[in-house]
Amino acid sequence: MTEITLHSPLDMHIHFRQDDMLKVVAPLSANHFAGGVIMPNLLPPVDNLDRLLWYTEEVRQACQPHAFDPYMTLFFRNYTFAELEAAKPHIIGIKLYPAGATTNSDGGVQEIMAMSAVFEAMQELDIPLLVHGETHGFVMDREAEFCEVYRALATKFPRLRITMEHITTEKAVGLLDEFENLRATVTPHHLILTLDDVAGGLLQPHLFCKPIAKRPEDREALLQAALRAHPKLMMGSDSAPHPRDKKECPGCAAGIFTAPILLPMLAELFERHGALANLQTFVSDTAQRLYRVTPPAKSVTLAKTTMTIPAQYGGVVPMWAGRELAWSVTSVQ
């Protein structure tokens, strides 16, 4: 196959940031995607209705003139039932960050199971819970340790739709088949990278992210689930831009910027494994079904024509800058 058309592709986990960065990165996603789940970890976080409505309008303006539905989220805190009820028409879910787990998450949750009243209200209102699932243990074990929290949440709140965000381990993949109310996103970079790519030779700051890339056996479990279009696994890029001076420095910021190259990168990966027929399901159909959304009609055609990844986009260095990809986007309608 030398050409493929994807219908209304969705990115179910994106960081658009704010201000000038928002204006740089939002159009790059809105060009190739029909919609996406927008993360709320701004400074200050998006944790009330007024700020949510403001940020929604900022995102919509930044995405023009592209047909793109932003699926907004609130930053998890101790919300009242009335606050959740008022926010529900404007959000796709609420994003829970363990305090200090990743960028701009210092105001996250200290004791997750102490938030039972909020989870009960979300379950009653049918508001999905999106979770950055890491403990504060040894960096390679943080997600595996957090799987016990997923077990507790899924068991105690069986009607709460819980998305395990950007899963990175074989153990998390196994939970998808264990609990009816668990689903997950996975990033393209976690389908490709292991820790060896990040730190096996010279440190590669533009491949450093949280959760960190894991072991080969973890990558293989993620890849096989994606290639076979597991019915509870969605593409969520976790595309996370930082200015170049925040990546190429001591104290390098965590985040991999992939937004402009996602679809060519995935076409190349799925073709290599003989699974191009499942790419539509992975990048759109499963998310539409699980989140009950109908995105704008958008057809994105890719051809087996090489593209060279630019050195940067508005001061943000993408993954694999300067490298060639075997596929490229040829038209968007």
Q: ∠ at Cα 211 (208, 214), nearest 5°?
A: 80
Q: What is the DSSP letter of 284?
A: I
CA-CA distance, 85 to 77, in Å (whole number)? 14
DSSP 39-106: P---SS---SHHHHHHHHHHHHHHHTTS--EEEEEEEP----HHHHHHHGGG-SEEEE-BTTSSTT-T
Tokens of 278: 């499942």
Query: Is residue 2 packed enough to be buried (19+ CB in 10 Å), middle (13-18) or exposed (0-12)?
Result: exposed
CA-CA distance, 272 to 95, in Å (whole number)? 34
| Helices and strands, counts by H and E, the chain | 13, 13
Report yes or no: 84 and 127 within 8 Å, Cβ to Cβ: yes
Q: Using N-to-C axis directions, what is the helix angle for 19-32 and 49-63, rounded to 10°?
A: 60
* Residue among 9, 22, 163 at smallest CA distance from 95: 163
Report yes or no: 134 and 210 within 8 Å, Cβ to Cβ: yes
Query: Is residue 323 packed enough to be buried (19+ CB in 10 Å), middle (13-18) or exposed (0-12)?
Result: exposed
Q: Show which residues are catalytic.
A: 238
Report yes or no: 263 and 6 within 8 Å, Cβ to Cβ: yes
* Residue among 121, 100, 120 at smallest CA distance from 109: 100
CA-CA distance, 320 to 207, in Å (whole number)? 8
CA-CA distance, 327 to 220, in Å (whole number)? 23
